[in-house]
Amino acid sequence: MTPGKKTVEPAASRTRTRVSGEGARTAHRQAMLREMLRIRRFEERCVELYSAGDIRGFVHLCIGEEAVSVGVHQALAPEDAVVTTYREHGHALARGVPAEAVFAEMLGRVTGCSRGRGGSMHLFDVSRRFYGGHGIVAGGLPVAAGLALADRMRGLERVTCCLFGDGAVAEGEFHETANLAALWDLPLLLVCENNLYAMGTALSREHAQTDLAARAASYGMAAWEADGMDVLAVEQAARRAARAVRDGAGPHFLELRTYRFRAHSMYDPDRYRDKAEVERWKQRDPITLLATRMRGEDGMDDADLEALEREVAAELDAALEQARQGAAEPVEDLLRYVRTPPEGTS
Amino acid sequence: MTPGKKTVEPAASRTRTRVSGEGARTAHRQAMLREMLRIRRFEERCVELYSAGDIRGFVHLCIGEEAVSVGVHQALAPEDAVVTTYREHGHALARGVPAEAVFAEMLGRVTGCSRGRGGSMHLFDVSRRFYGGHGIVAGGLPVAAGLALADRMRGLERVTCCLFGDGAVAEGEFHETANLAALWDLPLLLVCENNLYAMGTALSREHAQTDLAARAASYGMAAWEADGMDVLAVEQAARRAARAVRDGAGPHFLELRTYRFRAHSMYDPDRYRDKAEVERWKQRDPITLLATRMRGEDGMDDADLEALEREVAAELDAALEQARQGAAEPVEDLLRYVRTPPEGTS
Amino acid sequence: MTKARAAHQAEPVTYREAMREAMREALAGDERVFLMGEDVGRYGGAFGVSLGLVEEFGPQRVRDTPLSESGFVGAGIGAAIAGLRPIVEVMTVNFSLLALDQILNNAATLLHMSGGQVSVPLVIRMTTGAGRQLAAQHSHSLEGWYAHIPGIRVLAPATLEDARYMLAPALADPDPVIIFEHGSLYNLSGVLPPDAGPVDLDSAAVRRPGSDISLITSGGSLGKTLEAAEQLAADHHVDAEVVDLRTLRPLDDATVIGSVRRTHRAVIVDEGWRTGGLSAEVAARITEHAFYDLDAPVERVCGAEVPVPYAAQLEQAALPQVPGIVAAARRAVG
Amino acid sequence: MTKARAAHQAEPVTYREAMREAMREALAGDERVFLMGEDVGRYGGAFGVSLGLVEEFGPQRVRDTPLSESGFVGAGIGAAIAGLRPIVEVMTVNFSLLALDQILNNAATLLHMSGGQVSVPLVIRMTTGAGRQLAAQHSHSLEGWYAHIPGIRVLAPATLEDARYMLAPALADPDPVIIFEHGSLYNLSGVLPPDAGPVDLDSAAVRRPGSDISLITSGGSLGKTLEAAEQLAADHHVDAEVVDLRTLRPLDDATVIGSVRRTHRAVIVDEGWRTGGLSAEVAARITEHAFYDLDAPVERVCGAEVPVPYAAQLEQAALPQVPGIVAAARRAVG
Ligand SMILES: Cc1ncc(C[n+]2csc(CCOP(=O)(O)OP(=O)(O)O)c2C)c(N)n1
Ligand SMILES: Cc1ncc(C[n+]2csc(CCOP(=O)(O)OP(=O)(O)O)c2C)c(N)n1
Ligand SMILES: [Mg+2]
Ligand SMILES: [Mg+2]
């Protein structure tokens, strides 16, 4: 099978490759497998860079949750918008933000996707309608509702996809946004990345009603759950929901049950999770799940996998190398972008 | 039938008069009728005082909603706590805050229940565990949860009753409080006084899901609706809910559908409601409803009603007269109560 | 009514009508503009400012919201990012705390945090101030807090002309602007100057020229300050200059410092609580930039440090009043 | 470990441990005290301050909350009104905006608005400050905003001793107290003086006596300021006095003004944004009370007016640094 240059393009662009026939199915699955691998390996390098002191601040990994990023982004078109959290490396990469720009951002370089001003938690790429990268839990939700409101008022058939965690659902801003979205019929796709913990707080100690899809449904919006470890299930659920949103059926809520294999952030000693629980979930590693399936159904073999790993490694080597070349922004420019400079100046 | 001195005592104290036998039933209904009349006439005087310029600021009347105040307070004992909104004259009176102290508060006198510092929106009487009088919509909800949490932690079998409007349910603080209460099993009675409007905004333009009891139930708490114009229905629903809360069954939510016969506040020209709608609701005046019933079932006649009116008028005349005697607080005391003075000073 | 027509009419208008006219002009002139907030539509605005606009522009563009300050302010931010020009009315500053996270961490921050990619051309309007016996929770003056936030422009129209002509330049600003309307000004009435046009949002205004002392104020305190200036002239032969800051962020140092350099004395009048209020910043800047020109310490006449009480005499005692301004000015010149 | 034992041990403790010890002492000594906040229990606190406390005191008294800042801060207010003594941890000041309505309109206001009936003996702890490359939304210094609120006491422990001994008097205060812990201080380590005891919450502290100039600061900036003072002495023969405000509200004017009266010069060092920050109030008070004693304008060294950027060099440039403090002091004495 061919590596397919396509796989390094924005996930968004791939959504238009219609999945028809076995070859196409295999290529599509391979693209998703490759993207999940790419995210996994990208974040493993982030760990190294962090340990080496090249990346600082808060860094939140999505290792174990790659099926959410990759599956959901299959359903999004380039004209759609994405709003997410500080745990967004995977979403940014799946959306097509170049790995180099994300590495550079975390290294604090001017070539970073936020010019080094945002860091790991605040990745932005407006050219891809990737609107961050929000550090205040649930803070991105009302903003996403506003992006959707603008499309609604202008009659544009676009989807705004807002991703957030299970913890965010407890914040008042979730409630206000869910009500506004349902009340105003906004083209908003709410995706709850339920990894069962908000930092050290387990789902059952965050929420009286732990069926989050049921909670969302109570606002009068369509809401359902999918297996967040199975990228095919995520893709199917996301495509179905996104299509409905695009067709004007109003906001939809997806609860994707997943699990983070690593600690909450680099600072977190992870004392609150039972190691056996973590191990159990690792048995459902989204990459292994898809790979195993493809071995059975798509005739994928070790060689193919190694090839994928090699391509991903090559891309990331080059991206990191490039990122390291990026310049640091001169401190003279500290005050740039606080306000937009008046016309004619800069 | 005897006017019954009892009826001017705190509603709370009346809750212990067991309702048994016809005479008792009649006396109890008469007490509630009298209390509703008392609230109605009290607020009618507020209108006069406002027009005369003796009361200023925002004044929100509950005329039309008296069955909520009187019915709910039947279920509360003196050791219970009450937290409410700026539309609280009725709740304060039903709780037993003397009419004189409420008049005096609105007249800005030092003899007011908040020493004239709060005015109409901020009635307090800690001796009756009446904790205000909150002007920020939904702002009282988390505080009520905290009062209930304290009882829960100390194992006290008391109820904290928090009253709020339909508009408050849209605020994030409602959501956070509902989840905390259900998650922590707090002895909290949430009473939504649903008068179908938040200022000029109709229920269907505030909420995607207008069945507020259903919304509350989605947090995993017991929730039901009752006719907020029928004081007997309100009393029954409130007693049932309060008993359950007191017995440790966790938070309960009551939606009481009612209607305000007057504008939102003295400032409101009430342009947004169809006069016919208002007239329809006036056909269900809670005072007329109970009076009619008592004529049929309790042999009440015009003379009884006139007697009640006379007693109420006499009480309010005396209360207002007394309130007018109250002194204005000297401006030298402006900074008192900003912080508690150190021991030994004042 | 268009600006042209405004220029020709001579009937008096109120501050409320001037602000409404500014919004009507914006809604009529730019389809990207819409108004959103609690009761801005059918109710006509809590203070009647948007009365009639929903009938004229429809419920899509004059949009009633549920009680969800954080939700609809955040939605305004998103709509602005998407290219619309929302005017979000937060009924009063007292309720804006519920939306402060959105204003500080999103509206004011996204442009910089995204390295210049995400602009937020949002206008937020709110009523502010005390004086109507609304008690502690409805009488805040928190302009100083908003003026502390980098990335935001803060306006305080204190005159009919500013109420009428500050909105257009605010909407033309590519970044967030907050407009504070003091509740006591809505019934202010007068005739708009025929030649009036868009206000320069970078400059303070000298409302009364004078040579003996600079009285620096803004918003709801301008009237009291002008009255104090007249009393100082009539009763104490003190010729006071009155400076209306108008734009609370960024502050127009040139006008303020220039005035103090000429008068050598200054009194700042601010309804907000004294400690840590806007008055402190203005006082600090004056002593930083005009230290050697000052003949007396800068005086501040501010709100008393107390939750504003309901009772009339207590509320009046808690707010800046003309006699207090006159006394402070006399201390400074004396 | 009781205070007595603390007094006898000589091993060094960290600021984190000192704060934890203060909480343990409070929890052990008063059954009305409980700790509530996001991840204060099983996680041990986002910065490890409450590590081990849930094991010792149980999940009722060391209570993990959902992400609901307004909800659990409001619940803390209610529990305090009911007679308990809650310590509510808002993980960081950055998230406290979501609870600001509860803090301002309820905690700070209820006592006065109820005519003295409703006391709120609540202690709120939060981490504050920048310097760890956490970027704009996680690097705020908003102590100045809280210090603007009548009815609240605001503390900024900058030393091990204050971390260890400010909590007890804060809990003894019948009214709300907010404690700001600068994130850069948690690993500060040293030996607690054996004679240490409850801190007087009304007084600032002179951390380094000096005669040429007063350097006034607090919290996370104390270390840099002391360092600057040493450089001024070593390299420029300037003997600087360093005043740690410690209590940001109410400000201890006597100590601050007294120092400036002696030195005739002042520099204020504050990590917060300059415009409208706490630095402005301190500067304004100095010129109000010591105008005729000042030999130079009061200098302010503050955070740059920008959302704090992630990149190391930009973040460092955005915060007060030793060279900037030294330069300001030399301008003042020069
Ligand atoms: C309003 C707010 N409160 C607290 C925090 C600190 N915090 C950062 S992430 C987090 C947990 C969020 O959990 P969840 O929403 O489930 O997302 P996850 O990290 O699991 O992906 C917390 C408490 C924050 N960033 N914002
Ligand atoms: C947070 C907040 N937003 C807005 C207001 C202004 N306001 C006061 S009452 C009200 C309507 C509340 O409606 P509802 O909760 O149904 O109570 P009702 O007045 O109908 O009894 C509004 C918008 C406020 N006081 N607080
Ligand atoms: Mg989670
Ligand atoms: Mg209502």
| B104 has a pLDDT exceeding 90 | yes
Q: Which residue in the block uniquely carries the two structure tokens 């059952």? A: A204
Compute the distance from residue B289 Cα to the ligand 2 centre, in Å: 28
- Nearest CB among A119, A198, A272 relative to D135 is that of A119
H runs (alpha helix) in A155-224: 172-183, 203-206, 212-217
Does D317 sit within 8 Å of A198, measured CB to CB? no
Sequence-ordered strand ranges (E) for chain B: 81-85, 130-134, 160-165, 188-194, 197-198, 201-202, 222-227, 252-257
Residues in contact with ligand 2 (CB, 6 Å cut-off): B 87, 135-137, 165-168, 193, 195, 197-199, 264; C 38, 67, 69, 91, 95, 98
Compute the distance from residue C167 Cα to the ligand 2 centre, in Å: 27
Residue B342's pLDDT band (cuts 50, 70, 90): confident
Of B296, B311, B299, B289, the C-alpha closest to B66 is: B289
Chain B: closest CA distance from residue D28 (Å) = 16
CA-nearest residue for atom 12, ligand 1, is A198
Does D68 sit within 8 Å of B151, measured CB to CB? no
pLDDT tens-digit map of D230-239: 999 999 999 9
User: Which atom of ligand 1 is the closest one to the Cα of A167?
Assistant: 15
What is the number of the ligand closest to the CA of B268?
A: 2
Name the amino acid, one letter, at C316: Q
**For a pLDDT cut of 70, what percent of chain B falls above it?**
93
Chain B: closest CA distance from residue C307 (Å) = 7
Q: Count of alpha carbons within 13 Å of B184, Cβ hemisphere only?
A: 30
Q: Which residue in the block uniquely carries the two structure tokens 């967030």? A: C176
pLDDT tens-digit map of C115-168: 999 999 999 999 999 999 999 999 999 999 999 999 999 999 999 999 999 999
D303 or A10, higher pLDDT? D303
Q: Rounded distance, CA B200 to CA B273, Å?
A: 8
pLDDT tens-digit map of D184-206: 999 999 999 998 889 999 999 99
Does C77 sit within 8 Å of A118, measured CB to CB? no
| DSSP secondary structure, A40-107, as one string | HHHHHHHHHHHHTTSS-S-----TT-HHHHHHHHHT--TTSEEEEESS-HHHHHHHT--HHHHHHHHT
| C318 has a pLDDT exceeding 70 | yes
Given the cut 0.90, state whether the ipTM is greater than it: yes
Q: Is D46 an interface residue toward A (CB < 8 Å)?
A: yes
Which amino acids of D are annotated catalytic? 69, 138
Residue A21's pLDDT band (cuts 50, 70, 90): confident
Instruction: Report residue B276: phi and psi, to 5°.
Output: -60, -40
**Beta strands at A81-85 and D266-273: parallel, antiparallel or unpaired:** unpaired
User: Which atom of ligand 2 is the closest one to the Cα of B206?
Assistant: 16
| A7 has a pLDDT exceeding 90 | no
Q: In sequence order, what are the residues at sequence separation of 6 or more whose Cβ sits closer than 8 angstroms to the Cβ of residue D334?
A: none
Compute the distance from residue B195 Cα to the ligand 4 centre, in Å: 5
C 121-180 residues with CB < 8 A to B: 132-138
Of A52, A22, A85, A40, the C-alpha closest to A288 is: A40
Q: In Å, how far are A135, C72, D85, D97, D123 from D49, measured between CA atoms?
A: 22, 36, 19, 22, 16
CA-nearest residue for atom 21, ligand 1, is A165
Compute the distance from residue C55 Cα to the ligand 4 centre, in Å: 24
Q: Which among B199, B262, B281 is the best mutation to test ligand 2's pocket, defined by most ligand atoms within 8 Å of the CB?
A: B199
Compute the distance from residue A67 Cα to the ligand 1 centre, in Å: 21
Residue A267's pLDDT band (cuts 50, 70, 90): confident
Of A277, C288, A61, the C-alpha closest to D302 is: C288
Q: Is A333 an interface residue toward C (CB < 8 Å)?
A: no
Q: In sequence order, what are the residues at sequence separation of 6 or more whose Cβ sits closer than 8 angstroms to the Cβ of residue B232?
A: B29, B71, B290, B293
Residue B40's pLDDT band (cuts 50, 70, 90): very high
Of B146, B125, B122, B145, the C-alpha closest to B134 is: B122
Does D113 sit within 8 Å of C137, measured CB to CB? yes
Chain C: closest CA distance from residue D100 (Å) = 6
pLDDT tens-digit map of C256-301: 999 999 999 999 999 999 999 999 999 999 999 999 999 999 999 9
pLDDT tens-digit map of B164-187: 999 999 999 999 999 999 999 999
Chain D: closest CA distance from residue B251 (Å) = 15
Q: B139 contacts in D (CB within 8 Å)?
A: 74, 101-102, 105-106
Q: Residue C154: enclosing H or E segment and its boundaries?
A: strand C153-155
Ligand 1 contacts CB of residue D1 (under 6 A): no
- Nearest CB among C60, C82, C105 relative to A146 is that of C82
Chain D: closest CA distance from residue C165 (Å) = 26
What is the number of the ligand closest to the CA of C47?
A: 2
- Nearest CB among A147, A176, A338 relative to C68 is that of A176
Of C53, B209, C80, the C-alpha closest to A153 is: C80
The chain-wide mean pLDDT, for chain D, equals 96
Q: Which among A190, A199, A264, A272 is the best mutation to test ligand 1's pocket, defined by most ligand atoms within 8 Å of the CB?
A: A199
Q: Are B235 and B263 in contact (CB under 8 A)?
A: no
Q: Is A237 an interface residue toward D (CB < 8 Å)?
A: no
- Locate the chain D residue with the closest alpha carbon to A104: D311
Compute the distance from residue B51 Cα to the ligand 3 centre, in Å: 56
Ligand 1 contacts CB of residue A31 (under 6 A): no
Task: Give the pLDDT mean for B104-131.
Answer: 98
Torsion of CA A85, A88, A91, A97, to 10 degrees: 120
- Nearest CB among B122, B142, B150 relative to D113 is that of B122
Does D275 sit within 8 Å of C276, measured CB to CB? no
Which amino acids of C are annotated catalytic? 69, 138
Residue A345's pLDDT band (cuts 50, 70, 90): low
Q: A133 contacts in C (CB within 8 Å)?
A: 113-114
User: Which atom of ligand 1 is the closest one to the Cα of A165?
Assistant: 15
Sequence-ordered strand ranges (E) for chain A: 81-85, 130-134, 160-165, 188-194, 197-198, 201-202, 222-227, 252-257
